[in-house]
């Protein structure tokens, strides 16, 4: 697994509720703060709702990486269905994250996904200094993202029970 290939991870959860109820929770940019082992706070920088072009800042902390801030821009919104944001880096997005709500027949399916890169991120220096371990570095980071996403979706499901 290579960073340059922009690997992606996705999780989903079926929830007995309405798309509107799920949408109200997943468009709260502070949702991940409730469950994340890494994200400590978020705040709007430009705008105050999920809309294309609006920006928000996150403050993160990780025992292996330290503390850092991110700035994200919302790049896609399909009301009640999907919203996507890019985490900005000096040479383009370092990650893209999204939530999708599929009303389908029966329970609503909620998905959260994330894609690494293509811009340089905090992992880039580690990968450059230990090129032989790139696959493990990337896999470990994706596993952490997946764990956080599962916690987010579990929180949404429990909140709507």
Distances (CA, A) of 101 to 19, 107, 161: 7, 11, 17
Kindly list the domain boundaries of the chain, sorted by start residue: 3-29+78-159
Among all chains, which residue has been given the structure tokens 């991870």?
A: 9
pLDDT the model gives residue 106: 82
Predicted confidence (pLDDT) per residue in 39-63, tens digit: 999 999 999 999 999 999 999 998 8
19: three-class secondary structure by DSSP: helix
How is 64-88 classified by DSSP, letter by letter?
TTEEEEEEEEEEEEETTTEEEEEEE
Task: For residue 134, name the pLDDT band (cuts at 50, 70, 90).
Answer: confident
- Its CATH architecture, for the domain 3-29+78-159, is 2-Layer Sandwich (3.30)
Closest CA to 74 of 90, 87, 89: 87
Q: Could you give the percent of the chain with pLDDT greater than 90?
A: 77
The pLDDT assigned to 132 comes to: 84
Say what the pLDDT of residue 40 is: 96
CA–CA gap between residue 66 and residue 11 (Å, rounded): 26
How confident is the model at residue 105, as a pLDDT? Answer: 83
Give yes or no for a contact between 44 and 50, defined as CB atoms under 8 angstroms apart. Answer: no
pTM for the model: 0.93
pLDDT of residue 102: 96
Question: Span 109-124, mean pLDDT?
Answer: 91
Q: What is the mean pLDDT of residues 70-80?
A: 97
> What is the token pair recorded at 147?
């764990």
Does the pLDDT at position 65 exceed 80?
no
- 160: pLDDT strictly greater than 90: yes
Residue 24: CB partners within 8 Å, gap ≥ 6? none
pLDDT of residue 129: 82
| pLDDT top residue among 130 and 54 | 54
- pLDDT confidence of residue 59: 96
């Amino acid at each position: 697994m290579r960073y340059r290939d922009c690997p992606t991870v996705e999780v989903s959860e079926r929830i007995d509720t309405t798309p509107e109820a799920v949408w109200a929770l997943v468009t709260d940019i502070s949702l991940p703060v409730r469950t994340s082992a890494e994200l400590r706070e978020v705040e709007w920088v430009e705008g105050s709702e999920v809309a294309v072009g609006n920006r928000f800042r996150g403050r993160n902390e990780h025992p292996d990486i330290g503390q850092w801030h991110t700035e994200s821009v919302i790049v896609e919104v399909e009301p009640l269905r999907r919203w996507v944001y890019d985490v900005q880096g000096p040479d383009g997005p370092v990650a893209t994250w999204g939530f999708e709500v599929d009303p389908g027949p029966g329970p609503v399916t909620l998905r959260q996904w994330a894609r690494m890169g293509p811009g340089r991120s905090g992992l880039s220096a580690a990968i450059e200094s230990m090129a032989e371990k790139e696959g493990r570095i990337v896999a470990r980071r994706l596993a952490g993202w997946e764990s956080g996403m599962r916690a987010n979706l579990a929180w949404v499901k429990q909140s709507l029970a």
